[in-house]
Amino acid sequence: MSTETRTTVVWDYAPAPESVDHIRLKDRYGLFVDGDFRDPSDGRYVPTINPATEEPIAEVAYGGPDDVAAAVESARAALPKWAALKDLERAKYLFRIARLIQERSRELAVVETLDGGKPLRESRDVDIPLAAAHFFHYAGWADKLRYGVNAREVRPLGVVGQIVPWNFPLLMAAWKLAPALACGNVAILKPAETTPLTALLLAEICQEAELPPGVVTILPGNGGTGAALVRQKKINKIAFTGSTAVGRDIQAALAGTDTRLTLELGGKSANIVFEDAALDQAVEGIVNGIFFNQGHVCCAGSRLLIQESVHDEVIAKLWQRMGRLRVGDPMDKNTDVGAINSAEQLERIETLVAAGEDEGAHRRTIACDLPERGYWFAPTMFTDVSPAHRIAIEEIFGPVVSVLTFRTQAEAIEKANNSRYGLAAGIWTDKGSKAFEVASALKAGVVWQNTYNHFDPTAAFGGYKESGFGREGGPAGLRPYLQIVR
C-alpha cells in the first residue's frame, strides 16, 4: 500500500459557527399534496439525519404507492387551469417564488447544510442564490416560450414527475420546477431520502406565493416512491437526476410508453491542464472542481489530466493547496469541505479508494482532525493512476481526484473522451484557439475554460453517453417541457 499522509496542517482560524436561532423547522413534515401538508396513507414518518452529527433533525413522511396515485390525481385536476393561465400570470408566480427564496435565503442555507452536510459557505453563496436565479430566469421565459423554440407554436406536456438527488437538493428542485411551471405544466417532485427538508420549505414557499393547489406537489420518500412515480400511467414526462443505474431502470420502465424522459446522470469529467496554463489559477480550479461540495457533484473534475512537462509542479502546488483545506463542521463559515452525505455514500467512497490502493495507484490524503461523529472523508489525491484503474473509470462522488498524464493535445483529447460518461470537462490553457479546438473535440455537454463548476441559469447543462440526455437551463431547458404543435 502506497499511502502518504500530510501531517503539517495548521489550524489558524477561530470557529465561526452560523446561528440556527432563526430557522423555523417543524418536528414533522407530511406530504405536500393539493396545496397542503397531509399524512401519508400508511402513516409512515422517518427521521432525516444531520450527516455531520448523526442527530435527527425532523420527521418526514414517506409517500407510498397510494399517495403517489393521489398526488397524480390532484396534479391532473390542477392542470387545465394552470395551463390556460395567461403566460404573464404564470410568470408572476415564478417571480414571487424567486423573491420568497431570496427572503428566506438564510434559513434555507442553514437547513440545506444541516440536512445535507455541505459547507454553509456553499449553500449560502451557491445553492440558494442559484435556486432563486433559476426561478427568476424562467419567470422571464414564461411569456416568451415561442422564442425559446424557434418561433414554433407550443403547448405544455401536462403532468411531469421530477426525481432529484441529494447533492444539491433545493437547487435541483429549482432546475426542475422552474422550467416545467413556466411552460404551463404541473409538477410532482420527489426529493432524495436523505435531504427532503429544503424541498418541503419550498412547499411552504409555494403556499406563501399562493400558487394554486396541485400545481406543485412535493412527495418525500425513498427509492420506492420514485419508482412508483415513474410507473404512473397518467404522467406525461419524467425528469430524473441521479445515478446511471437508476436512470437505466427508469428508461427500461418507460420503454414502449409515450411518457417523455430526460436523464441527467453521473460523470467522470476530465479537467485538463496544459503546460501553457496559469498554473496557480489552474490549481484553484482543480480544488474547486473536485472538493466543492465534498466532490458530490455530477460534473466534478474527478479525472485530472496534466501535461507531463508540468506534472510535478502542478502536483506539488496542488498538494500544498490541499493541505490548507479546512475540513469539518459544515456550519462553520470557514469550512471548505463538510460532511459526506450519508453512511452509504461514505462506504461507496471508501470501497473505491481501497480499490485504487489495491490496484497500485499512489494515495495521498490530507491529515486533519475529523469530528468523532458524523460521516467524513479527508480530501485525497491519487497519482500513478492508469486509465484501466477503477478510480479512473467509476464515479466516486467524493473528495477524491485521480491524476493521469498526457504528452500531446491529441492524447489529452483521446484520454478525456475515453469514458463511458460525457457530462463536463475543464480546459486550462493560455491559448484561446487551443481551448476552442479541444472543446469542440470533447464529447462533454459542458466545457469550462480556465474555470470549473461555474453554473448559470442561462446556460444549458446535460450530458452525452451514460451521462444522460436532455438539457436543463437556458432556452434549451424549455424544450423538454413543451410539445411543438406547429
Catalytic residue ranges = 264, 298
Residue 418 lies near ligand NDP (rule: CB under 6 A):
no
Nine cell digits for residue 36: 397542503
Count of CB atoms situated within 10 Å of the CB of 437: 14
Is the Cβ–Cβ distance between 149 and 476 less than 8 Å? Answer: no
Q: Does 49 bind ligand NDP (CB under 6 A)?
A: no
122 binds ligand NDP (CB under 6 A): no
Site membership for ligand NDP, residue 266 (CB under 6 A): yes
What distance in Å separates the CA atoms of residue 97 and residue 135, rounded to the nearest whole number? 7
Applying CB under 6 A, among 59, 107, 249, 357 the residue interacting with ligand NDP is 249
Judge contact between 279 and 317, C-beta under 8 A: yes
Whether 230 contacts 238, CB under 8 Å: yes
- Written as nine digits, the cell of 52 is 455531520
Q: How far is the CB of 6 from ligand NDP (least distance, A)?
A: 26
If the CB atoms of residues 314 and 401 are measured against ligand NDP, the closer one turns out to be 401
Give, rounded to a whole angstrom, the gap between the first and last alpha carbons of the chain.
63
397 binds ligand NDP, rule: CB under 6 A:
yes
Taking residues 192 to 211 in sequence order and writing x for each that binds ligand NDP by CB under 6 A, - otherwise, the string is xx------------------
Query: Which stretch in 114-122, 134-142, 245-253, 379-387 sits in contact with ligand NDP by CB under 6 A?
Result: 245-253
Q: Which residues lie closer than 8 Å to 386 by C-beta, 6 or more apart?
A: 359, 361, 392, 404
Nearest approach, Cβ of 167 to ligand NDP (angstroms)? Answer: 5
Judged by beta carbon, residue 174 or residue 318, the one nearer ligand NDP is 174
Q: Which of residues 131-150 bind ligand NDP (CB under 6 A)?
A: none
* Residue 245 CA: distances (Å) to CA of 37, 172, 227, 250: 32, 19, 13, 9
Q: Out of 226, 328, 426, 457, which residue is the one contacting ligand NDP (CB under 6 A)?
A: 226
242 lies in the site for ligand NDP, by CB under 6 A? yes
Return the residue nearest ligand NDP (CB atom). Answer: 226
Beta strands in 380-445 (DSSP E): 380-383, 400-406, 421-422, 424-428
Q: Which residues are bridge partners to 66 per DSSP? A: none
- Which chain residues interact with ligand NDP by CB under 6 A? 163-167, 190, 192-193, 222-223, 226-227, 230, 241-243, 246, 249-250, 265-266, 298, 345, 348, 395, 397
